[in-house]
Structure 1
Amino acid sequence: MSYQSFDDLIASMDQNICDNMRRAIETGKWADGRVLSREQKELCLQAVIAWETQNLPEEQRSGYMEQACKSGEEKTEDQPVTLRGPDTLQ
């Protein structure tokens, strides 16, 4: 199937197509075992993000992180980080 634009591609997608693209991105292969090219991975990733933005609530989208997406209404506590050198990781 040929699409006139990226928007046409997104409009023709459904949840199943989005899930198949997401799985292909994760595994690096299509369901039939063919390897995705770099260009295919990039296009699939853009399509998944665009489709999810139009069709899913924010908390159901790929990469959603609850803390990072909260508005500034609640005060977040500082979480200290301790850095250790490679010689202390034994």
Structure 2
Amino acid sequence: MNREQLISSITPTGYQRLLYAVETGRWPEGTLLTAEQRDSCMQAVMLYQSQHNVDAQHMTVSAGGEICFKSKSELKREFGSTTDEIVRVNINDIPK
């Protein structure tokens, strides 16, 4: 199977399964991946992303095959996060 055939054979559902496996080291059913399986899955995920990822997240491969890195400020803007939304708790202030 060549590269184009592999990419076109991956469905969006299949991609999500591969992505989950790469991120967790397990298939969605819970079976552990071998190192070889994880490497193969990672390559398939990167190939799929290089053709279909039009909204690249931080440290992914965007459509066109470029690796996309987003800065902390870009991610904050994207997720609407501000430091005002962060609640900090000092464990020494909690009654025992």
Fold in common (TM above 0.5): yes
**Structure-2 separation of matches of 1:61 and 1:12:** 23
**Structure-2 separation of matches of 1:5 and 1:47:** 12
2:13 to 8, 12, 16: 16
1:66 to 67, 70, 73: 70
2:22 to 25, 35, 52: 25
Q: Given that residues 49 and 62 in structure 1 are in contact (C-alpha distance below 8 angstroms), is that contact kept between their aligned partners in structure 2?
A: no
Sequence identity, in percent? Answer: 27
Deviation at 1:40, TM superposition (A): 0.6
**Higher RCO, 1 or 2 (CA under 8 Å, sep at least 6)?**
1
TM-score, normalization by structure 2: 0.55
Q: Given that residues 19 and 41 in structure 2 are in contact (C-alpha distance below 8 angstroms), is that contact kept between their aligned partners in structure 1?
A: yes
State the partner residue of 1:44: 41
TM-score, normalization by structure 1: 0.59
* Count of residue correspondences: 63
- Give the aligned CA root-mean-square deviation in angstroms: 1.9
Q: Aligned partner of 1:40: which letter?
A: Q
**Structure-2 separation of matches of 1:41 and 1:48:** 10
The runs of 5 or more residues in structure 1 that have no matched partner are 68-90
**Structure-2 separation of matches of 1:53 and 1:38:** 23
